[in-house]
Structure 1
Amino acid sequence: MCKGLATLPATCLKSAKDIKHKISFLLQKPEPQAADQKQMKEKNAAAVKRVPAAAEVKKWKESFSHLMNSDTGRTVFTTFLRSEFSEENMDFWVACEDYKKMSSSKLVTRAKQIYQQYVEADAPNEVNLDAVTREQTRQNVENACPSCFDEAQRMIYILMEKDSYRRFLNSKLLQDLCQAQMTNEKKEMKNCDCAEDRQALAGGA
């Protein structure tokens, strides 16, 4: 038998060793299923904790302004935009909001950064602006002031409202969020019922 192995080509022996190594590695590898299930449960639990109140989500559905005025709303909407590869619109809008609150000494530097990041043609995260607004913003940045991005920001706000927001209202993301709320409400009702039963039993005792 040893003689037979010796007559085999070296490449065959190497392949056999590789296969044996892979099999032994797989056998030694811990079963990931339990760990994966634990991680999934933790993620789901965390997601449930982050579920906003039904009244808040109802406001998001009523108007885009309600959605944008809510920190949680913007976070959820940004997740949706990311799925559509258009999150740069929200990033730009938020950057403009932060820019308005900056001290005057930092405006010039930050204005150039925002312009180069989002506004100029072929920018890394270029937003969809018409040529007139783009040129007007370029001129504004040369004399940076808190309002130099106002028109560009307004255009992107309208774009999100008229385009992405309408799809967001019918998105699976929002439907799943509403479903999570219903599940939470059922759990809360069940917990309340259990608490009332315990109180009734305690009172009877």
Structure 2
Amino acid sequence: MLDLLDTDTHTPATMIAATIDTSMEGLIYSKNLEPDMEKDNMKRTWRSRMLFKSFLLRKASRGTARRNPYRPTAEELSQWAESLDNLLNSKCGLIAFRLFMESEYCVENVEFWVACEEFRKINSRSKLRSKAKRIYEEFIREDSPKEVNLDFHMKETVDKCLLVPTQNSFQAAQNKVYFLMEHNSYPRFLESELYSNLCKTTEGE
């Protein structure tokens, strides 16, 4: 199960790195989906249900499941539907959206966005350089492990900006990825079984 953290001292990057057990991971990362559309839809539905359970429940120290203290309220869920900004700026929202992106095989987009947000908060020049290199190697470089969908011209822009890294070196690329999430993944998230089930848990609040 997803082991959510119980304090407010953790950064979004820490929250987003919450672990998933091996059975869940197998469902999320399986690339051997049947080509048949009906079977694929059934598997997506099953993944969504598993993700929903992992979001609402966590393992207690004695091995029993208890209610997740990070369960969103009805007001929060309503705010998530207003804009992608509201979703990403909510701790619960960021976790839920990342889980959804895992099931869609495009989690690198939200992870890149988070990395860029943290990068813009760095003040040390040496830390900017080292962090810029890590982000580039992980998300930008061709055939990188989590390469995001950027065209050749955008990658050229990033390359030029990184000659002398500043807090805004990845701004254009981050905006591009945000646009893709806002117009593709975000609408699907709002229509997903994960979001629908979360809304059902708050009915009557």
Into which bin does the TM-score normalised by the smaller protein fall? 0.5 to 0.7
Which of residues 41, 56, 73 is equivalent to 2:93? 73
Which 5+ residue runs of structure 2 have no aligned equivalent?
1-58
Alpha-carbon contact 2:113-2:178 (below 8 Å) kept: yes
Paired with 2:193 and 2:64, the residues of 1 have a C-alpha distance of 22
1:154 has 2:154 as partner: no
> In structure 1, what is the Cα distance between the partners aligned to 2:128 and 2:83?
32
Residue number in structure 1 paired with 2:29 = none
Letter matched to residue 128 of structure 1: N
Aligned with 1:142: secondary structure?
coil
Alignment of 1:1-205 (within 5 A): 42-43=64-65, 45-47=66-68, 49-102=69-122, 103-182=124-203, 185=205
Task: Choose 1 or 2 for highest CA Rg.
Answer: 1
Give the letter aligned to residue 75 of structure 2: A
Question: Over residues 115-163 of structure 1, what are the superposed CA-to-partner deviations in whole Å (9 max), with x where a residue is unaligned?
Answer: 0110111111000111111111012112111110000000000110000
- The root-mean-square deviation of aligned C-alpha atoms, in Å, is 1.8
Question: Per-residue deviation at 1:42?
Answer: 3.7
Unaligned runs of 5+ in 1: 1-38, 186-205
Secondary structure at 1:55 match in 2: helix
Question: 1: CA distance between counterparts of 2:162 and 2:105?
Answer: 27
Higher helix share: 1
Q: Which amino acid aligns with 2:157?
A: Q
User: SS state of the match for residue 159, structure 2?
Assistant: helix
SS at structure 2 position matched to 1:177: helix
- Kept in 2: contact 1:51–1:180 (CA 8 A): no
**Given the two structures, how large is their TM-score scaled by the length of structure 1?**
0.66
8 A contact 2:71–2:92 mirrored in 1: no
* Identity across the alignment (%): 39
Q: Does structure 1 retain, via aligned residues, the 8 Å contact 2:101–2:107?
A: yes
Q: Distance in 2 between matches of 1:179 and 1:53?
A: 11
SS in 2 for 1:168: helix
Instruction: Answer whether contact 1:117 1:124 (CA < 8 A) is retained.
Output: yes
Q: What amino acid is aligned across from residue 57 of structure 1 in structure 2?
A: L
Question: How far did 1:46 drift?
Answer: 2.7
User: How many residues end up aligned between the 2 structures?
Assistant: 144
Q: Which amino acid aligns with 1:93?
A: W
* Alignment partners' CA distance in 2, 1:135 and 1:126: 15
Deviating beyond 4 angstroms after TM superposition, the runs of 4 or more aligned structure 1 residues are none
Looking at structure 2, the residues matched to 95 and 64 of structure 1 have their Cα atoms a distance apart, in angstroms, of 17
